[in-house]
Structure 1
């Protein structure tokens, strides 16, 4: 089994979900007491948020790239950035890490394309919805991403940072997201991307008005496929084919 490197802590609420998803999948596919070989560097999210707020993305890229390089030195065979927003600096992190970076946007695009979806609504932080890096990457896969209206973007961003990243789950916020999703169908959306790794803490991708795609689960599954592929152990190879 290959070793998975996680750049986490952004927030730790969703990083904990990554750890659970990855280990549950490995146990399901290998059985018994099997668990994933994982190295985690959990960053102080307050430092990352300060760089985001100040629009200091180059510095944020160096911070995460340094974390990725450290994971590689520690033995990680791949790196995951355990957040959608910080994929804005994914290219720098990949270069500095020197090992394969499993990209959450590419993996989510692949899941959408496999199901014939081409016009998803994106629910995410305002950085992910407004900076353009996400929609451009999706467009390269032939996917036309919709984002909520400005007021709704602000509300979703607030739910993420003021509630979910702090472990707060509120029914009124869940209702608001469901309303935004329902309205998006009238704009031509054919699916929904839970494009912030914390949103799955609030709403279930399988219980939405449109087909939902949980980027956290998709990303974690891709990591497991990588970890179980290409090894000498026949059980790992067979398991990777089933993930």
Structure 2
């Protein structure tokens, strides 16, 4: 059985979600709540991530997150994940810094959307995730459509993520606004799915809040972790 390594702290709230979800899914796979997985978490500073991206210091970003992944490898992790969408801007560069396999949240989410036969999806996340193309590439490359909100809505979503969700704050008026943005995208773009492309978004948007399937990237990523844990 393989031991996982999680680069966490990106932010702390979603790292807790990863921790709890991984344990729950592991126990379900083992069919026992009397066992626990042994794994590693290296919690780093999410504000460094925002700083490096906003200053376009992508080499520093890959060195920072890649260094955290390497530490996990050095203490015995058999594979590594980065528990956030935004740092996947430099996922390929991070992957090159370690010798053990890494599981991409972007690749896992694309595979899930393809499995669900979704061809026209929306993407919500931090402004960095929505405005850059790293999440969009696998969809566009397979002739699937992927749409982000307007610039104004992107900025609003980003600020509420950073100021509220990253700090564990969930407000009803923020949820209402996010649902309105999602519904507007669904109506205008005829979406058949919506990607929650920030690991804090499931704190505020749940299945049934909108009239299309929500792709919870945290849940999708953890499923891949569990699969890899039990793989040969």
Taking structure 2 as the reference length, what is the TM-score of the superposition?
A: 0.95
Which residue number corresponds to residue 241 of structure 1? none
C-alpha deviation, 1:37, in angstroms: 2.2
Map 1:119-130 → 2, pairs under 5 A: 119-130=120-131
CA distance in 2 between counterparts of 1:162 and 1:169 reads 10
C-alpha deviation, 1:209, in angstroms: 1.9
Contact 1:205/1:213, CA 8 A, preserved across alignment: no
CA distance in 1 between counterparts of 2:142 and 2:222 reads 20
Which residue number corresponds to residue 240 of structure 1? none
CA distance in 2 between counterparts of 1:142 and 1:189 reads 15
CA distance in 1 between counterparts of 2:77 and 2:161 reads 29
* Structure 1 gap segments, 5+ residues each: 231-243
Contact 1:109/1:143, CA 8 A, preserved across alignment: no
For these two proteins, the number of residue pairs brought into alignment is 230
CA distance in 1 between counterparts of 2:84 and 2:143 reads 23
Map 1:213-224 → 2, pairs under 5 A: 213-224=215-226
Question: Which one has the bigger helix percentage?
Answer: 1
Taking structure 1 as the reference length, what is the TM-score of the superposition?
A: 0.91
Q: Give the 3-state SS of the residue equivalent to 1:205 in structure 2.
A: coil
After superposition, the CA RMSD in angstroms is 1.2
Contact 2:125/2:196, CA 8 A, preserved across alignment: yes
Which residue number corresponds to residue 28 of structure 2? 28
CA distance in 1 between counterparts of 2:168 and 2:225 reads 25
- After superposing on structure 2, the runs of 4+ consecutive aligned residues of structure 1 that deviate more than 4 Å are none
Which residue number corresponds to residue 234 of structure 1? none
C-alpha deviation, 1:45, in angstroms: 1.9
* Structure 2 gap segments, 5+ residues each: none
CA distance in 2 between counterparts of 1:141 and 1:202 reads 30
- Per-residue CA shift, 1:62-90, capped at 9, x if unaligned? 01111111111111111101100100111
- Per-residue CA shift, 1:32-52, capped at 9, x if unaligned? 322222111000222222212
C-alpha deviation, 1:61, in angstroms: 0.4
Which residue number corresponds to residue 117 of structure 1? 118
Map 1:88-103 → 2, pairs under 5 A: 88-103=89-104
Map 1:1-243 → 2, pairs under 5 A: 1-30=1-30, 31-186=32-187, 187-230=189-232
